Structure 1
């Protein structure tokens, strides 16, 4: 057996430290996940908005051409 198993206080301290570190790593990972998701959504949203504006402009131009206004 290792000396660590003979010292329950030291073992509990290491366990608590490992638990706290794991919790901090989980929080960091979730922050990274949401940061990436927000960036992807913002990029996709900007592209969709640009496409919608271009479509609206083309439809206006098409209608104007159909009415002979251009």
Structure 2
């Protein structure tokens, strides 16, 4: 999402650390961007599981 710092992820959500990109055709997909972003998704994660216990505080988990 937002914390990946990727320009092509230009549709940001409101409350959460999400970001999106929309395609109209398969040919628009940049394979290198996709691979890089999927790699980041394995290492940069947010702890939504314990957000209630932490009273709304969202903590970044880096693996």
TM-score by length of 2: 0.29
Q: Which one has the largest radius of gyration? A: 1
Task: Looking at secondary structure, tell me which structure has more helix per residue.
Answer: 1
Task: Looking at secondary structure, tell me which structure has more strand per residue.
Answer: 2
TM-score by length of 1: 0.26
